[in-house]
Amino acid sequence: MPFMVNQQILLAKLDDLKQASLYRSRRMIESAQGVVLQVEGRKVLNFCSNDYLGLANNPEVIASFKQAADQYGVGSGSAHLVCGHGREHHELEEELADFTGRERALLFSTGYMANLGVITALMDKGDVIYQDRLNHASLLDGGLMSGARFKRYLHADVENLQQKMQSHSLGQKAMIVTDGVFSMDGDFAPLDKLSVLAQRQHAYLMVDDAHGFGVLGSNGAGLVEQYQLSQQQVPVLVGTLGKAFGASGAFVAGSDALIETIIQQARSYIYTTALPPAIAAATRASLHFVRQDSWRRDKLKMLVRRFQAGARQIGLALMPSASAIQPIVLGDSLKAVQASDYLFAQGFWVSAIRPPTVPLGSARLRITFSALHDEQHVDQLLSALQGMSA
């Protein structure tokens, strides 16, 4: 007899998730991304998107996409190393390398694939990887898949990391891996201190700046730029293009030797179809706006300050975040779901984030801001939050 999946076992596991308030569901969006969304027949103010600079529906970015689609079609046809690497891909890589101050950059189809590919290409059995306890799942998975010894240090705790590295032999290849901006807390990794420690220990430092790239730094090149760290100080820089850039995909930037090694050895690069050329063209247009429109970053900072001040006035406890990510920890998963549902009923979309995305007992509302929000939107959200806690 053919093997049959036991449906009752699957249904029981799904029911367990529901009983624990950990069941995930999708809402269907019926409009383009923006601060106002049409969701399942109703309009809501969007406070859960990573479109930090409001570029996902920018008319000029869309025009670049359409023009490239007319010229190159929709699909890339194959992997980069077969026949999928086009002019738009190549020019975007060169522009990203210049923007980040690195020798070269390499495109990946997703941020998850970039992190898996980079870590598994550079690390192997017998090596050791040190990861922040709150790193993104893709970084943790990359570390586990590499086969290297895997050690996690306390969140943003350089002293704890240093203690764990005391037994590290200088002849042993090592890598320190961290998010730049932590996606669920909104705080920053201490990259300046991590860089000093990595150089002292002759270890790679890999930074995934997914939520800082485009938003932080004097030119928008991210947290690494804000700390003014060079390619030598941060040899492995990863950024995503589907957040502040409003497009899709990801990249790794570093030395010529690093990029060539990843091209030759990263399975998630070698064995996947390249991004559509039109996406690369749209991303190049987004990069132009990131470089040119500093007002977007300035406005984002202003909105965050306004929200923080208003939250203090109504007695809301926020996490220590200076980024566009402003979490409110509620602790209990059911409480977080109920709060999110209440806000949605009031016309505000704020996601409830629960374990295993965050540690047990730290379920939260994850509020994010876009440069396309205005002060009135912030004030309306604060009023709804005050009503929720009343």
Catalytic-residue membership of 183: yes
The catalytically annotated residue of 89, 136, 243, 373 is 243
Mean pLDDT, the chain, rounded, equals 95
- Whether 3 maps to a domain, the answer reads no
Residues 174, 262, 132: CA angle, nearest 5 degrees:
40
Q: How far is 234 from 212, CA to CA, in rounded Å?
A: 15
Query: Which of 292, 308, 339 finishes a domain?
Result: 292
The reply to whether 76 and 169 lie within a common domain is yes
Torsion of CA 210, 216, 219, 224, to 10 degrees: -70
Evaluate whether 79 touches 94 at the Cβ level (below 8 Å). Answer: no
The reply to whether 216 and 236 lie within a common domain is yes
Query: Which of 292, 317, 332 finishes a domain?
Result: 292
Q: How far is 15 from 132, CA to CA, in rounded Å?
A: 32
Mean pLDDT, to the nearest integer, of 312-326?
94
Residues 31, 32, 35: CA angle, nearest 5 degrees:
95
Question: Which of the four pLDDT bands, split at 50, 70 and 90, describes residue 215?
Answer: very high
- Whether 185 maps to a domain, the answer reads yes
Nearest to 129 by CA among 163, 179, 178: 178
The catalytically annotated residue of 183, 321, 351, 370 is 183
Query: Which of 292, 326, 344 finishes a domain?
Result: 292
The reply to whether 376 and 287 lie within a common domain is no
Calculate the alpha carbon distances from 153 to 120, 144, 355 in Å: 20, 15, 19
- Whether 5 maps to a domain, the answer reads no
Calculate the alpha carbon distances from 41 to 31, 206, 344 in Å: 10, 43, 13
Mean pLDDT, to the nearest integer, of 183-190?
97
| Residue 376: strand, helix, or coil | helix
The reply to whether 187 and 256 lie within a common domain is yes
Residue 242 has pLDDT above 90, yes or no: yes
Q: What is the percent of the chain with per-residue pLDDT over 90, rounded to a whole number?
A: 94
The reply to whether 266 and 335 lie within a common domain is no
The reply to whether 288 and 298 lie within a common domain is no
Each residue's pLDDT tens digit, 134-156: 999 999 999 999 999 999 999 99
Strands 351-353 and 363-368: antiparallel
Residue 332 has pLDDT above 60, yes or no: yes
The reply to whether 276 and 226 lie within a common domain is yes
Question: In the prediction, which pLDDT does 4 show?
Answer: 64
- Whether 175 maps to a domain, the answer reads yes
Q: Residue 337 sits in which domain range?
A: 21-53+294-389
Give me the sheet containing 348-349, strands edge to edge.
Answer: 36-39, 42-46, 348-349
The reply to whether 78 and 38 lie within a common domain is no
- Whether 181 maps to a domain, the answer reads yes
The reply to whether 201 and 72 lie within a common domain is yes
* pTM for the model: 0.94
Torsion of CA 112, 115, 118, 123, to 10 degrees: -120
Nearest to 324 by CA among 47, 87, 59: 47
Question: In the prediction, which pLDDT does 124 show?
Answer: 94
Question: In the prediction, which pLDDT does 387 show?
Answer: 86
The reply to whether 167 and 238 lie within a common domain is yes
CATH code, domain with 93:
3.40.640.10
CATH code, domain with 316:
3.90.1150.10
- Whether 255 maps to a domain, the answer reads yes
Domain count, the chain: 2
Name the phi and psi angles at 154, rounded to 5.
-60, 145
Catalytic-residue membership of 211: yes
Residue 1 has pLDDT above 60, yes or no: no
Catalytic-residue membership of 136: no
Question: Which of the four pLDDT bands, split at 50, 70 and 90, describes residue 168?
Answer: confident
Instruction: Quote the tokens at residue 275.
Output: 């991004």
Calculate the alpha carbon distances from 250 to 61, 170, 278, 290, 292 in Å: 17, 32, 15, 16, 21
Residue 290 has pLDDT above 90, yes or no: yes
Q: How far is 336 from 104, CA to CA, in rounded Å?
A: 43
The catalytically annotated residue of 80, 211, 299, 373 is 211
Residue 347 has pLDDT above 90, yes or no: yes
